[in-house]
Amino acid sequence: MTMIRIRPMSTDSESGTSLGVAPLSTTSGLARMFDELWNTPFNTHPFLSFDLPTRRAFPPMNILSDGNAVHVEAELPGFSHNDVEITFEGDTLTIKGRRGEQGVQNEDVRFIRRERVIGEFVRAVRLSDPIDSENVTARMQDGVLRITLPKVAAARPRTISISHN
């Protein structure tokens, strides 16, 4: 996609003639535009200040690993444990969920703004550590899903004693 910057019409100071559209003249102009884009908060930049939701992976997750297990924390506000399904197959953890229509039951009521998403989501992540899938546990509390995936014994760190003669 080609981006064209249109500037207000100006006058050539030497000839006095109208210049119309001023294209980005050099690479430095393009570089300046990208510097400005990256250094401006997302919701205030004129090229990006549209009123659409941003597309992000859902649910947002933190994945941590210690010597014994991989720990996953997923933010699922407004979901109950009955709305979520967790599967682990091979090396892939999958979280599926569904949020149904909530709230408005009256035909006389209309939405002024609707930002809460309804419908289904699926999030799958591959894990590099071998997991003991028979002992995976999960709990949901205060809108946070916490999954503990124990590593198989062979993948856990262990201390090797050194013998001496």
How would you write the chain as a 3-class SS string? CCCCCCCCCCECCCCCCECCCCCCCCHHHHHHHHHHHHCCCHHHCCCCCCCCCCCCCCCCEEEEECCCEEEEEEECCCCCHHHEEEEEECCEEEEEEEECCCCCCCCCCCCCCCCCCCEEEEEEEECCCCECHHHCEEEEECCEEEEEEEECHHHCCCCCCCCCC
CA dihedral 32→33→35→37, nearest 10 degrees, is: 160
Tell me, yes or no, whether 126 lies in a domain: yes
In this predicted structure, what is the pLDDT of residue 22? 45
34 — pLDDT class (breaks 50, 70, 90): low
Q: Is the pLDDT of residue 5 over 60?
A: no
Which residues touch 47 (CB under 8 Å, ≥6 apart)? 37
Q: Is the pLDDT of residue 28 over 90?
A: no
Tell me, yes or no, whether 73 lies in a domain: yes
Q: Are residues 44 and 66 in the same domain?
A: no
Q: Are residues 74 and 24 in the same domain?
A: no
Tell me, yes or no, whether 2 lies in a domain: yes
Token output for 81: 């444990």
Number of Cβ atoms within 10 Å of the Cβ of 141: 8
Q: Give me the CATH number covering residue 86.
A: 2.60.40.790
18 — pLDDT class (breaks 50, 70, 90): very low
The total of structural domains in the chain comes to: 2
In this predicted structure, what is the pLDDT of residue 27? 57
In this predicted structure, what is the pLDDT of residue 60? 93
Tell me, yes or no, whether 37 lies in a domain: yes
Mean pLDDT (the chain, rounded): 76
Q: What residues make up the domain containing 32? A: 1-54
Q: Quick: pLDDT tens for 72-130.
A: 999 999 898 999 999 999 999 999 999 877 666 677 888 788 787 788 999 999 999 99
Residue found by looking up tokens 């980005």 in the block: 24
Upper half-sphere CA count for residue 157 (Cβ side, 13 Å): 5
Q: Are residues 71 and 6 in the same domain?
A: no
In this predicted structure, what is the pLDDT of residue 154? 83
Q: Are residues 5 and 66 in the same domain?
A: no
Is pLDDT larger for residue 10 or for residue 66? Answer: 66
Q: Are residues 65 and 33 in the same domain?
A: no
Q: Are residues 9 and 41 in the same domain?
A: yes
17 — pLDDT class (breaks 50, 70, 90): very low
Tell me, yes or no, whether 162 lies in a domain: no
In this predicted structure, what is the pLDDT of residue 41? 54
Tell me, yes or no, whether 108 lies in a domain: no
